[in-house]
């Protein structure tokens, strides 16, 4: 009697735990289904290629889509080289000294700073002090600072998996430190570093708060013509639509979210593909 009683409790507890895993996943499913049901009817070719409009049924996301693509390209161009460079420094040159420790503490703390605070930093430093205005440049630099800690941490992990024997083999063959890094260490760690960078960039694609803080425009009827051009981005356009009381605009927001999620899905699929290809080789 005693035994079965205990087992019943244990079974009930396992069931409860499984329930706790499945409920959030069910929420994810409901969320995606809800967005698709709301927005699928609105997701037409003209929605992708039209300018925003005061009339919900004519409005499109072209400037937001183009703005997001430029923004992400620029963000990646700033953040990926600097992030990988910082990771190489910390992992290959750093050693155990005060500077390395200080940088590590900083990166750990920066990863926990709310994204809207980065927006305030960007507003003061890039928009005003550097006088870049509410441009793609200001947005991209702000987002680059935001995702740098993610890229650095992921790249360091990739570098740490390269066996030390390979570095020592290079030195034994007479290579300098940089030659070993450039020709052996970095190529081996590259897939891991790229995967981390792609995931970091996909985080930047959905970021809204820092762009609002730097004052990105919400109603843009032109395409950006260079890095100093004012811009809007997909999440901003979605926020603008979801904040309006008219239900037709909320439907536009749902269609916009579908586009945003599709882009994120592509980036994540690319990251998974790279990771798998890399795992197969090693």
Partner 1 sequence: MAANSPEFSPVAPAAGYLTRSATPWPERVIEIVLRACGVLSIFTTIGIVLVLAYETISFFREVPISRFLGDTQWTPLFVDKHFGIWPLVAGTMLTTLVAIAVALPFGLLSAIYLSEFADERARRILKPMLEILAGVPSIVYGYFALVFLTPLLQKIVPGLAGFNALSPGIIMGVMITPMIASLSEDAIYAVPRALREGAYALGARRLPTIVRVVIPAALSGIAASVTLAISRAIGETMVVAIAAGQQPRLTMDPRVPIETMTAYIVQVSMGDTPHGTLEYKTIFVVGASLFLMTLAMNMLSQRLARKFRGKL
Residue closer to partner 1 by CB (options 149, 191) is 149
In angstroms, give the least distance from the CB of 109 to partner 1: 6
CB of 50: closest distance to partner 1 in angstroms?
Answer: 21
> Which lies closer to partner 1 via its Cβ, residue 81 or residue 225?
81
Three state DSSP letters for the chain:
CHHHHHHHHHHHHHHHHHHHHHHHHHHHHHHHHHHHHHHHHHCCHHHHHCCCCCCCCCCCCHHHHHHHHHHHHHHHHHHHHHHHHHHHHHHHHHCCCHHHHHHHHHHHHHCCCCHHHHHHHHHHHHHHHCCCCCEHHHHHHHHHHHHHHHHHHHHHHHHHCCCHHHHHHHHHCCCCHHHHHHHHHHHHHHHHHHHHHHHHHHHHHHCCHHHHHCCCCCCCCCCCCCCCCECCCHHHHHHHHHCCCCHHHHHHHHHHHHHHHHHHHHHHHHHHHHHHHHHHHC
Q: In terms of Cα–Cα distance, which of 71, 78, 43, 72 is closest to 57? A: 43
**Residue 90 vs 226, nearer CB to partner 1:** 90
Nearer residue to partner 1 within complex by CB, 113 or 266 = 113
**Closest distance between partner 1 and the C-beta of residue 227, in Å?**
20
Residue partners of 36: CB distance under 8 A and separation at least 6? 254, 258
Could you give phi then psi for residue 226, rounded to 5 degrees?
170, 175
The CB-of-43 to partner 1 minimum distance in angstroms stands at 15
Nearest approach in angstroms of CB 235 to partner 1 is: 5
Q: Which is nearer to partner 1, 58 or 102 (CB)?
A: 102
The residue among 226 and 245 lying less far from partner 1, judged by its C-beta, is: 245
Q: How far is the CB of 208 from partner 1 (least distance, A)?
A: 5
Q: C-beta of 44: minimal distance to partner 1 in Å?
A: 20
| Residue number with CB closer to partner 1 (87 or 136) | 87
Please give the structure tokens belonging to residue 190.
């590259």
Nearer CB in complex with partner 1: 226/260 = 260
**CB 224 → partner 1: shortest distance, Å?**
20
């Amino acid at each position: 009697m005693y035994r079965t009683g205990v087992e019943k409790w244990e079974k009930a507890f396992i069931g409860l735990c499984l329930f706790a895993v499945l409920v959030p996943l069910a929420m994810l499913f409901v969320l995606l289904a809800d967005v698709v049901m709301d927005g699928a009817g609105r997701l037409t070719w003209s929605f992708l290629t039209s300018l925003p409009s005061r009339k919900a049924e004519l409005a499109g996301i072209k400037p937001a889509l183009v703005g997001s693509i430029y923004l992400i390209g620029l963000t990646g161009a700033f953040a990926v080289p600097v992030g990988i460079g910082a990771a190489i420094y910390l992992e290959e040159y750093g050693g155990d000294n005060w500077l390395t420790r200080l940088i590590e503490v900083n990166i750990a703390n920066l990863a926990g700073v709310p994204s809207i605070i980065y927006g305030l930093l960007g507003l003061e430093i890039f928009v005003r002090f550097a006088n870049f205005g509410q441009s793609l440049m200001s947005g991209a630099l702000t987002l680059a600072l935001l995702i740098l800690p993610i890229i650095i941490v992921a790249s360091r992990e990739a570098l740490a998996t390269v066996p030390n024997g390979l570095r020592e083999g290079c030195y034994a063959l007479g290579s300098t430190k940089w030659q070993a890094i450039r020709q052996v260490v970095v190529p081996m760690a590259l897939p891991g570093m790229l995967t981390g960078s792609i995931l970091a960039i996909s985080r930047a694609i959905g970021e809204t708060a820092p762009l609002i803080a730097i004052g990105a425009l919400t109603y843009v009827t032109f395409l950006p013509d260079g890095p100093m051009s004012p811009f809007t981005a997909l999440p901003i356009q979605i926020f603008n639509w979801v904040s309006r009381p008219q239900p037709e605009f909320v439907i536009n927001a749902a269609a916009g979210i579908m586009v945003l999620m599709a882009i994120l899905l592509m980036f994540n699929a690319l990251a998974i593909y790279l990771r798998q290809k890399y795992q197969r080789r090693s």
